[in-house]
A and B are shown apart, each in its own frame.
Chain A
Amino acid sequence: MADPIHQFQLKTYTTLGHIGHTEIAFTNSSLFMLIAVGLITMFMLWGTSGRGLVPGRIQSMVELSYEFVANTVRSSAGNEGMRFFPFVFSLFMFVLILNLAGLIPYSFTVTSHIIITAALAVLVIGVVIVYGFMKHGTHFLGLFVPGGVPPVMLAILVPIEVISFISRPISLSVRLFANMLAGHIALKIFAGFIGSLLAAGAWGIISPLPLALTVALTALEVLVAVLQAYVFATLTSIYLNDALHPGH
């Protein structure tokens, strides 16, 4: 049976140099990131090239994704949150296209690597913290102090709030990473069963079973890919709302 982990292997195309002891290389991951950026940019620019008052097909899709993310940001972080709209939009499209591109057989899923999802999550929380302190100064720390609570309770609640804040980037990154990783492993294993069963003589008769499962799982994975991108964008908006309105 094919190794289900092999698909996550980074393949180095060219080594570009070293920073300290770390090798910086152009890999399949880099390639897919650049493809995603290219696809998104092409989609956005091609779709808006007509600038039609009445949108065509591609322009409709562009406007749909624009309005979708804009509504997500607006409903979570209010109109003030729209200053982060380009950031959330880029995150959403980037994660979405990387997730979807990863579903194509023999392609590479960039978001199945925890370092990528963690970096994106840290970026989000970093923006929240930096903007929160820039806009509200020390008032931003009020985020950790729930209002209307007796001081004795604060001794318990403040650490809980701090832990919940720290766990945000962890949950944000692990959720996306784990979903992508588990989904692709499951797909690979079930797809692998088809080959193994066909090779096992008479057992080949039940090989349509894992094939059907693989088809069903592929549909599920498309859903998960879109859903996780949406969850990532929504949670980003909610966290950004904390930076905009730190009061409880």
Chain B
Amino acid sequence: MAQTTHATTEAHGGAHEAGGAFPPFDSSTFGSQLVWLAIAFGALYLLMSKVALPRVTRILDERHGKISSDLEAAAKLKAQTDEAIATYEKALADARANAQAIAGETRDKLQAETDAKRKALEADLHGKLDAAERQIVEGKAKAMQNVRGIAADATSVIVQQLVGRTPSADEVDAAVSQSIGQ
């Protein structure tokens, strides 16, 4: 033990003198450097891997989560807005179609009413026209009857004047019928 202490003291003394071993290659210091490196780096690794880095990871994850959830919420709201717009447009289209249907219906109804009235009027007029025509035909036939009567009377008068005798009604009637081609 005493010997080792002596040796290290000597080594130390040598190292402190200018011109001693080049410090980075002075193997007498390697032991303590290695031990302290192991302690320091080991502690650093533990602190980083167990405490510091998980904290940073959590912060970054939280941020990413927040950003993505915000984006998601925004997308959801946008979808809702789109839906509302679609509903509104549909309602608008429905209302328009409804209005058009009502308008069409009303128009058709009015048209039908007008048509019915016109038809009734036309039928009425036709009836009146037919009655008038019938009246004319009747009148005409009556008139023709009268003309025949007049012709027969005239014939019997003319014959009486010419011949001096009154022809029988049958003869006159046959003659008139013959002359008017019946």
Quick check: is A100 within 8 A (CB to CB) of the other chain? Answer: no
Please tell me if B51 contacts chain A, counting CB pairs below 8 Å. Answer: yes
**Does A66 contact B28, Cβ atoms closer than 8 Å?**
no
Closest A residue by C-beta to B27: A115
A114 to B25, CA, bound (A): 7
Chain A residues near B151 (CB, 8 Å)?
A: none
If A23-B28, A63-B59 touch, does A3 touch B52 (CB 8 Å cutoff)? Answer: no
Quick one: which of B8, B32, B41 has the most chain A CB within 10 A?
B32
Query: Across the interface, which residues of B come within 8 angstroms of A3, CB to CB?
Result: 18
Check B88 for interface membership: any CB of A closer than 8 A: no
> Does chain B have a CB within 8 A of A59?
yes
Among candidates A89, A115, A120, A181, residue contacting B53 with C-beta atoms closer than 8 Å: A89
Task: Write out the residue numbers on chain B whose beta carbons fall within 8 Å of the beta carbon of A72.
Answer: none
Cα separation A34 to B66 with both chains bound (whole Å):
37
Which of B29, B48, B49, B62 sits near A10, CB closer than 8 Å?
Answer: B29
Chain B residue numbers with a CB within 8 Å of A44 are 47-48, 51-53, 55-56
List chain A residues, Cβ under 8 A from B119. Answer: none
Pairwise interchain contact A63-B56, C-beta atoms closer than 8 A: yes
Residue A22, interface by CB 8 Å: yes
Asked if A9 and B15 sit within 8 Å, CB to CB, the answer is yes
Query: Across the interface, which residues of A come within 8 angstroms of B174, CB to CB?
Result: none
- Report Cα–Cα, A27/B15, bound state, in Å: 14
Distance from A214 Cβ to chain B, minimum over Cβ atoms (Å): 22
Q: Does B37 sit at the interface, judged by CB under 8 A?
A: yes
**In the assembly, what is the distance between CA of A26 and CA of B53, in Å?**
29
Contacts of A19 in B (CB 8 A): 31, 35
B24 at the interface (CB under 8 A from A): yes
Nearest-Cβ distance from residue A167 to partner chain B, whole angstroms: 20
Query: Which of A35-43, A186-194, A223-231 lies at the interface with chain B?
Result: A35-43
List A residues 85-122 near B (Cβ within 8 Å): 85-87, 89-90, 93-94, 112-116, 119-120
Size class of B's contact patch?
35 or more
Size of A's binding interface in residues, CB under 8 A: 53
Is the pair A23, B53 in contact by a Cβ cutoff of 8 Å? Answer: no
> Which B32-68 residues sit within 8 Å CB-CB of chain A?
32-37, 39-41, 43-45, 47-49, 51-53, 55-56, 58-60, 62-63, 66
Q: Closest residue to A18 on the B side, CB-wise?
A: B4
State whether A9 touches B23 (Cβ < 8 A).
Answer: yes
Does A205 touch B at the CB level, under 8 Å? no
Interface contact B44-A41, CB-CB below 8 Å: yes
Given A66-B60, A113-B23, residue A33 in contact with residue B37 (CB < 8 A): yes
Q: Are A116 and B31 in contact (CB under 8 A)?
A: no
Chain B residues in 8 Å Cβ range of A37: 40-41, 43-44, 47
- Are B53 and A27 within 8 A (Cβ)? no
Chain A positions within 8 Å of B, measured between CB atoms, are: 3, 5-6, 8-10, 12, 16, 18-19, 21-27, 29-30, 33-34, 36-37, 40-41, 44-45, 48, 51-53, 55, 59, 62-63, 66, 85-87, 89-90, 93-94, 112-116, 119-120, 123, 177, 181
* Cross-chain pairs A/B with CB under 8 angstroms, 9 sampled: A10-B23, A45-B52, A51-B59, A51-B62, A62-B56, A86-B53, A90-B41, A90-B49, A119-B33
4 closest cross-chain pairs (CB), A and B: A22-B31, A86-B49, A44-B52, A33-B40
Known: A18-B4, A27-B32, A66-B56. 12 other contacts (CB 8 A): A9-B16, A10-B33, A27-B29, A33-B41, A45-B55, A62-B56, A86-B48, A86-B53, A90-B45, A94-B44, A116-B37, A120-B37
